[in-house]
Amino acid sequence: GNSVTQMEGPVTLSEEAFLTINCTYTATGYPSLFWYVQYPGEGLQLLLKATKADDKGSNKGFEATYRKETTSFHLEKGSVQVSDSAVYFCALMTNAGKSTFGDGTTLTVKP
Amino acid sequence: DAGITQSPRHKVTETGTPVTLRCHQTENHRYMYWYRQDPGHGLRLIHYSYGVKDTDKGEVSDGYSVSRSKTEDFLLTLESATSSQTSVYFCAISGLYQGTNTEAFFGQGTRLTVV
Protein backbone atom coordinates (compact mmCIF):
# COMPACT_ATOMS: atom_id res chain seq x y z
CA GLY A 1 0.00 0.00 0.00
CA ASN A 2 0.86 3.66 -0.08
CA SER A 3 2.77 5.27 2.74
CA VAL A 4 4.23 8.62 3.77
CA THR A 5 7.14 8.99 6.16
CA GLN A 6 8.00 12.37 7.53
CA MET A 7 10.64 13.64 9.86
CA GLU A 8 9.89 12.98 13.48
CA GLY A 9 9.42 15.93 15.72
CA PRO A 10 9.10 17.99 17.61
CA VAL A 11 11.24 20.60 15.92
CA THR A 12 12.20 23.74 17.82
CA LEU A 13 13.82 26.68 16.04
CA SER A 14 14.65 30.27 16.75
CA GLU A 15 12.95 32.99 14.74
CA GLU A 16 14.58 33.58 11.33
CA ALA A 17 16.18 30.12 11.28
CA PHE A 18 16.05 27.87 8.22
CA LEU A 19 13.47 25.09 8.26
CA THR A 20 13.54 21.69 6.59
CA ILE A 21 11.00 18.96 7.27
CA ASN A 22 11.75 15.79 5.35
CA CYS A 23 9.06 13.75 3.67
CA THR A 24 9.38 10.59 1.60
CA TYR A 25 6.62 8.49 0.10
CA THR A 26 5.86 5.09 -1.36
CA ALA A 27 3.10 4.85 -3.92
CA THR A 28 2.11 3.15 -7.13
CA GLY A 29 1.49 5.38 -10.09
CA TYR A 30 1.90 9.14 -9.96
CA PRO A 31 0.26 10.65 -6.92
CA SER A 32 -0.19 14.32 -6.14
CA LEU A 33 1.77 15.52 -3.12
CA PHE A 34 0.70 17.99 -0.47
CA TRP A 35 1.79 19.76 2.68
CA TYR A 36 -0.94 20.65 5.13
CA VAL A 37 -0.72 22.75 8.28
CA GLN A 38 -2.80 22.41 11.43
CA TYR A 39 -3.13 25.10 14.08
CA PRO A 40 -4.41 24.24 17.56
CA GLY A 41 -8.10 23.37 17.66
CA GLU A 42 -8.51 23.52 13.90
CA GLY A 43 -8.70 21.18 10.96
CA LEU A 44 -5.90 20.77 8.45
CA GLN A 45 -5.52 23.34 5.73
CA LEU A 46 -3.54 23.18 2.54
CA LEU A 47 -0.13 24.84 2.62
CA LEU A 48 1.15 23.86 -0.83
CA LYS A 49 0.93 21.12 -3.43
CA ALA A 50 2.59 19.61 -6.49
CA THR A 51 0.84 17.37 -8.98
CA LYS A 52 3.70 16.01 -11.08
CA ALA A 53 7.42 15.33 -10.99
CA ASP A 54 9.73 18.36 -10.73
CA ASP A 55 6.83 20.68 -9.86
CA LYS A 56 7.58 23.11 -7.06
CA GLY A 57 4.78 24.12 -4.73
CA SER A 58 5.14 27.36 -2.81
CA ASN A 59 3.10 29.48 -0.43
CA LYS A 60 3.82 31.99 2.36
CA GLY A 61 7.58 31.50 1.96
CA PHE A 62 7.36 27.70 2.17
CA GLU A 63 8.52 25.56 -0.74
CA ALA A 64 8.63 21.88 -1.66
CA THR A 65 9.71 20.14 -4.87
CA TYR A 66 8.24 16.86 -6.14
CA ARG A 67 11.26 14.59 -6.61
CA LYS A 68 10.22 11.37 -8.28
CA GLU A 69 13.75 9.92 -8.40
CA THR A 70 14.11 10.13 -4.62
CA THR A 71 10.34 9.85 -3.87
CA SER A 72 10.60 12.93 -1.70
CA PHE A 73 8.74 16.18 -1.06
CA HIS A 74 10.74 18.04 1.58
CA LEU A 75 9.31 21.23 3.06
CA GLU A 76 11.61 24.26 3.39
CA LYS A 77 11.41 27.84 4.54
CA GLY A 78 14.29 30.26 4.62
CA SER A 79 13.30 32.26 7.67
CA VAL A 80 10.65 31.02 10.07
CA GLN A 81 8.44 33.22 12.23
CA VAL A 82 6.74 32.59 15.56
CA SER A 83 3.44 32.46 13.70
CA ASP A 84 4.67 29.39 11.76
CA SER A 85 4.40 27.30 14.92
CA ALA A 86 1.99 24.51 14.05
CA VAL A 87 1.80 20.84 13.08
CA TYR A 88 2.79 20.06 9.48
CA PHE A 89 1.56 17.02 7.57
CA CYS A 90 2.91 15.60 4.35
CA ALA A 91 0.37 13.69 2.25
CA LEU A 92 -0.17 12.05 -1.08
CA MET A 93 -3.35 11.55 -3.06
CA THR A 94 -3.85 8.93 -5.73
CA ASN A 95 -5.86 9.37 -8.90
CA ALA A 96 -8.66 7.44 -7.16
CA GLY A 97 -8.97 10.26 -4.64
CA LYS A 98 -7.51 8.38 -1.71
CA SER A 99 -5.12 10.24 0.58
CA THR A 100 -2.37 8.95 2.83
CA PHE A 101 -0.90 11.21 5.52
CA GLY A 102 2.33 11.24 7.44
CA ASP A 103 2.24 11.32 11.23
CA GLY A 104 2.81 15.07 11.41
CA THR A 105 5.73 17.18 12.63
CA THR A 106 5.24 19.73 15.39
CA LEU A 107 7.17 22.94 14.81
CA THR A 108 7.75 25.46 17.58
CA VAL A 109 9.43 28.76 16.73
CA LYS A 110 10.81 30.77 19.63
CA PRO A 111 11.33 34.55 19.53
CA ASP B 1 -13.24 28.62 2.91
CA ALA B 2 -14.67 25.37 1.63
CA GLY B 3 -18.25 24.82 2.76
CA ILE B 4 -17.89 21.86 5.06
CA THR B 5 -19.61 21.51 8.41
CA GLN B 6 -19.29 18.82 11.02
CA SER B 7 -21.81 18.18 13.76
CA PRO B 8 -21.68 17.90 16.65
CA ARG B 9 -18.38 19.59 17.46
CA HIS B 10 -18.14 17.93 20.84
CA LYS B 11 -19.79 14.84 22.26
CA VAL B 12 -19.48 12.73 25.37
CA THR B 13 -21.14 9.34 25.23
CA GLU B 14 -21.22 6.14 27.24
CA THR B 15 -19.62 2.86 26.27
CA GLY B 16 -21.98 0.68 24.27
CA THR B 17 -24.17 3.46 22.90
CA PRO B 18 -24.51 4.21 19.19
CA VAL B 19 -23.16 7.53 17.95
CA THR B 20 -23.59 9.25 14.60
CA LEU B 21 -21.43 12.09 13.36
CA ARG B 22 -22.55 14.19 10.42
CA CYS B 23 -20.57 15.88 7.70
CA HIS B 24 -22.29 18.32 5.36
CA GLN B 25 -20.75 20.00 2.32
CA THR B 26 -21.99 22.73 0.02
CA GLU B 27 -19.24 22.32 -2.61
CA ASN B 28 -20.77 19.43 -4.58
CA HIS B 29 -17.45 17.58 -4.33
CA ARG B 30 -17.37 13.93 -5.33
CA TYR B 31 -15.15 12.55 -2.58
CA MET B 32 -15.83 12.61 1.15
CA TYR B 33 -13.70 11.13 3.91
CA TRP B 34 -13.75 10.39 7.59
CA TYR B 35 -10.46 10.41 9.52
CA ARG B 36 -9.55 10.05 13.12
CA GLN B 37 -6.63 11.87 14.69
CA ASP B 38 -4.83 10.49 17.70
CA PRO B 39 -1.52 11.50 19.30
CA GLY B 40 1.34 9.58 17.72
CA HIS B 41 -0.78 8.28 14.84
CA GLY B 42 -1.37 11.31 12.67
CA LEU B 43 -4.49 11.05 10.54
CA ARG B 44 -5.94 7.63 9.81
CA LEU B 45 -8.62 7.02 7.22
CA ILE B 46 -11.76 5.32 8.53
CA HIS B 47 -14.00 5.27 5.45
CA TYR B 48 -14.37 7.27 2.32
CA SER B 49 -16.96 7.81 -0.39
CA TYR B 50 -16.48 8.36 -4.09
CA GLY B 51 -20.13 9.03 -4.87
CA VAL B 52 -23.66 8.65 -3.59
CA LYS B 53 -24.03 5.17 -2.08
CA ASP B 54 -20.41 4.37 -3.07
CA THR B 55 -18.17 3.89 -0.06
CA ASP B 56 -15.04 1.97 0.81
CA LYS B 57 -13.10 1.06 3.91
CA GLY B 58 -9.99 2.80 5.11
CA GLU B 59 -7.22 1.49 7.32
CA VAL B 60 -9.15 1.65 10.63
CA SER B 61 -12.73 0.81 9.66
CA ASP B 62 -13.54 -1.82 12.31
CA GLY B 63 -16.37 -0.63 14.57
CA TYR B 64 -17.46 2.09 12.14
CA SER B 65 -20.00 2.29 9.36
CA VAL B 66 -20.87 5.09 6.94
CA SER B 67 -23.66 6.14 4.68
CA ARG B 68 -23.97 8.63 1.86
CA SER B 69 -27.50 8.97 0.57
CA LYS B 70 -26.96 12.47 -0.83
CA THR B 71 -23.96 14.17 -2.37
CA GLU B 72 -23.78 16.69 0.43
CA ASP B 73 -24.01 14.42 3.48
CA PHE B 74 -21.67 11.73 4.78
CA LEU B 75 -22.57 10.08 8.09
CA LEU B 76 -20.20 8.16 10.34
CA THR B 77 -21.77 5.75 12.83
CA LEU B 78 -20.17 4.03 15.76
CA GLU B 79 -22.51 1.10 16.28
CA SER B 80 -21.47 0.50 19.89
CA ALA B 81 -18.96 3.05 21.13
CA THR B 82 -15.85 1.89 22.97
CA SER B 83 -13.22 3.85 24.89
CA SER B 84 -10.70 3.18 22.11
CA GLN B 85 -12.87 5.30 19.82
CA THR B 86 -12.25 8.39 21.91
CA SER B 87 -10.61 10.65 19.37
CA VAL B 88 -10.92 13.73 17.23
CA TYR B 89 -12.79 12.97 14.02
CA PHE B 90 -12.30 14.98 10.87
CA CYS B 91 -14.39 15.00 7.74
CA ALA B 92 -12.76 16.03 4.49
CA ILE B 93 -13.88 16.56 0.91
CA SER B 94 -12.12 16.72 -2.41
CA GLY B 95 -13.15 17.10 -5.99
CA LEU B 96 -11.87 16.91 -9.52
CA TYR B 97 -10.48 19.80 -11.53
CA GLN B 98 -9.56 19.15 -15.14
CA GLY B 99 -9.25 15.45 -14.40
CA THR B 100 -6.95 15.87 -11.40
CA ASN B 101 -7.97 15.48 -7.79
CA THR B 102 -7.96 18.68 -5.81
CA GLU B 103 -6.54 18.90 -2.35
CA ALA B 104 -8.63 17.79 0.61
CA PHE B 105 -10.64 20.41 2.49
CA PHE B 106 -11.17 19.66 6.14
CA GLY B 107 -13.92 20.35 8.59
CA GLN B 108 -13.25 21.74 12.05
CA GLY B 109 -13.36 18.35 13.72
CA THR B 110 -15.53 16.57 16.27
CA ARG B 111 -14.06 15.73 19.64
CA LEU B 112 -15.67 12.49 20.82
CA THR B 113 -15.16 11.13 24.32
CA VAL B 114 -16.43 7.67 25.22
CA VAL B 115 -16.69 7.14 28.98
Q: Is A44 part of the contact surface with chain B (CB cutoff 8 Å)?
A: yes
Residue A59 has pLDDT above 90, yes or no: yes
Q: Can you tell me the distance from the alpha carbon of B107 to that of B94, in angstroms, rounded to the nearest whole number?
A: 12
Q: What tens digit of pLDDT does each residue of B3-59 get?
A: 999 999 999 999 999 999 999 999 999 999 999 999 877 899 999 999 999 999 998
Distance from CA of A52 to the nearest CA of B (A): 11
Region label for A97, one of left (φ > 0), alpha (ψ between -120 and 50) or beta (otherwise): left
Q: Give the DSSP letter of residue A69.
A: T
Q: Can you tell me the distance from the alpha carbon of B101 to that of B5, in angstroms, rounded to the nearest whole number?
A: 21
For chain A, the residue count is 111
Q: How confident is the model at residue A9 (pLDDT cuts 50, 70, 90)?
A: confident
Give pLDDT, residue B2: 64
Residue B1 has pLDDT above 70, yes or no: no
Q: Is A20 part of the contact surface with chain B (CB cutoff 8 Å)?
A: no
Q: Tell me the pLDDT of chain A averaged across its residues.
A: 94
Residues in A touching B42 (Cβ below 8 Å): 89, 101-104
Task: Closest CB to A102: pick one of B42, B48, B101.
Answer: B42
DSSP-derived secondary structure for A82-107: GGG-EEEEEEEE-TTS-EEE---EEE
Contact at CB, A43 and B106, closer than 8 angstroms: yes
Distance from CA of A23 to the nearest CA of B (A): 14
Q: 60-89 in B: which are within 8 Å (CB) of A?
A: none
Q: Is B9 part of the contact surface with chain A (CB cutoff 8 Å)?
A: no
Give pLDDT, residue A14: 97
Give pLDDT, residue A11: 96
Taking one residue from A and the other from B, the number of pairs with CB-CB distance under 8 angstroms is 60
* Average pLDDT for B77-105: 90
Residue type, B25: Q
Q: 67-106 in A: which are within 8 Å (CB) of B?
A: 89, 91, 93-104
